């Protein structure tokens, strides 16, 4: 067992956990933040478990919780501010970027990081950015549109 201090969505948690506990299991089972999904039994291929570690998108099934000790994690529950959805979340709702929604938390976390690094992406760049996120329902067309429209909204409100 090991004691870790991890900031999650702005709150500091000090927990004693098994050294081999995965970060995704820590978030879901310890903190009950079940918006972070597990879609591929921890193989790193589906992207449903994507979170931010110090602002960068990472797959939380591919790292141990102890590796996040002393770091800041954001989950999909932390994207909204003061009860208001983020621009990207609103865009997914407006442009039908989801159907069952299982993949959506991971895509939102990945694309939030992506848009921070690619403020004016082409559709091809968006598709490249989505390579690590599997969606079984949508065919991706509306996901790409939602990301594209969010980038325009962010650009128009920047500065
Ligand atoms: S559960 Fe992490 S990539 Fe699928
Ligand atoms: S909306 Fe169902 S898996 Fe993507």
Q: Tell me, using a 6 A CB cutoff, whether residue 22 lines ligand 1.
A: no
Question: Residue 21: its pLDDT value, please?
Answer: 98
Per-residue confidence (pLDDT) for residue 158, from 0 to 100: 77
Q: Does residue 24 surpass a pLDDT of 80?
A: yes
pLDDT at residue 8 greater than cutoff 80: yes
Q: How far apart (Å, rounded) are the C-alpha atoms in residues 105 and 82? A: 19
Ligand nearest to the CA of 132: 1
* pLDDT of 159 above 80: no
Give the mean pLDDT of the chain.
Answer: 97
- State the pLDDT at residue 42: 77
- Percent of the chain, pLDDT > 70? 99
For ligand 2, atom 4, the nearest C-alpha belongs to: 135
Rounded average pLDDT over 48-59: 98
Long-range (24+ apart) CB contacts under 8 A made by 130-134 are 132/47, 132/50, 132/59, 133/46, 133/47, 133/48, 133/50, 133/103, 133/106, 133/107, 134/39, 134/40, 134/45, 134/46, 134/47, 134/48, 134/103
How far is the centre of ligand 1, averaged over its atoms, from the C-alpha of 127 (Å)? 19
48 CB neighbour count, 10 Å cutoff: 24
Check whether 7 has a pLDDT greater than 90. yes
pLDDT band at 43 (very low <50, low <70, confident <90, very high): confident
Question: Which helix (H) or strand (E) segment is 105 a member of?
Answer: helix 104-117
* Residue 143 burial class via C-beta count within 10 angstroms: exposed 0-12, middle 13-18, buried 19 and up: buried
pLDDT tens-place string over residues 109-156: 999 999 999 999 999 999 999 999 999 999 999 999 999 999 999 999
Q: Is the CB of 106 under 6 A from ligand 1?
A: no
Mean pLDDT of 80-98: 97
- In the chain, the domains with their CATH numbers are 2-77 (3.10.20.30), 87-157 (1.10.150.120)
Residue 16: CA atoms inside 13 Å, Cβ hemisphere, count? 1
Mean predicted confidence (pLDDT) in 54-80:
98
The atom number, within ligand 1, closest to the CA of 59 reads 2
């Amino acid at each position: 067992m090991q004691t870790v201090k991890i900031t999650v969505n702005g709150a500091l948690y000090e927990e004693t956990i098994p050294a081999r506990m995965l970060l995704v299991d820590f978030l879901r089972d310890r903190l009950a933040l079940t918006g972070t999904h597990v879609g591929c039994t921890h193989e790193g291929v589906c992207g449903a478990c994507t979170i931010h570690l110090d602002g960068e998108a990472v797959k939380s099934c591919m790292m141990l919780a102890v590796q996040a000790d002393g770091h800041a994690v954001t989950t999909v529950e932390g994207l909204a501010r003061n009860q208001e959805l983020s621009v990207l979340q609103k865009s997914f709702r407006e442009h039908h970027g989801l159907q069952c929604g299982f993949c959506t938390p991971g895509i939102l976390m990945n694309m939030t990081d992506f848009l921070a690094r690619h403020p004016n992406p082409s559709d091809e760049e968006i598709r490249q950015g989505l390579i690590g996120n599997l969606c079984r329902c949508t065919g991706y067309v509306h996901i790409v549109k939602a990301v594209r429209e969010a980038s325009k909204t962010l650009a128009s409100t920047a500065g």
